[in-house]
Amino acid sequence: MHLVYPVVISALLFSVGVYGVLARRNAILVLMSVELMLNAVNLNLIVFDMRWADRLHGGQVLTLFVIVLAAAEVGLGLALVLLIYRNRQTVDVDRLRTLREYDAEEGVRQ
């Protein structure tokens, strides 16, 4: 397999991820876009590991490390989104500019 095809696919995945992070307002979609970018990096690591075929398979090891980090990032990110939704009833990242608590019963900021 030629090296260009996976690199182009990886670049496209990363571009879609960057677009999602910059253009989307929903926090869950932003998290999914970050995952797309991490998977693009994983694809590059695997492809270049296969290309250079070193003894330690550093690309594959780094890919496993990135997968573990991505799983932790998704768990923490979804927990934060859930807490924000419970407190503010929205996951719109443009409306989440303050760190103050929002009292839903009174409808005022504290």
Domain ranges of the chain: 3-91
pLDDT at res. 19: 96
For residue 74, name the pLDDT band (cuts at 50, 70, 90). very high
Query: For the residues 92-109, what does the mean pLDDT come to?
Result: 70
Question: Which position has the higher pLDDT, 99 or 72?
Answer: 72
Percent residues over pLDDT 70 in the chain: 89
Percent of the chain with pLDDT over 90: 65
Integer Cα distance of 15 and 12 in angstroms: 5
32 has a pLDDT exceeding 90: yes
Quick check: 48 and 59 in contact, CB under 8 A? Answer: yes
pLDDT greater than 80 at residue 100: no
At residue 26, the pLDDT reads: 92
Q: Which CATH architecture has domain 3-91?
A: Orthogonal Bundle (1.10)
Q: What one-character-per-residue DSSP string does the chain give?
A: --SHHHHHHHHHHHHHHHHHHHH--BHHHHHHHHHHHHHHHHHHHHHHHHHH--SS-HHHHHHHHHHHHHHHHHHHHHHHHHHHHHHHS--BTTS----S-EETTTTEE-
pLDDT category, 107, cuts 50, 70, 90? Answer: low
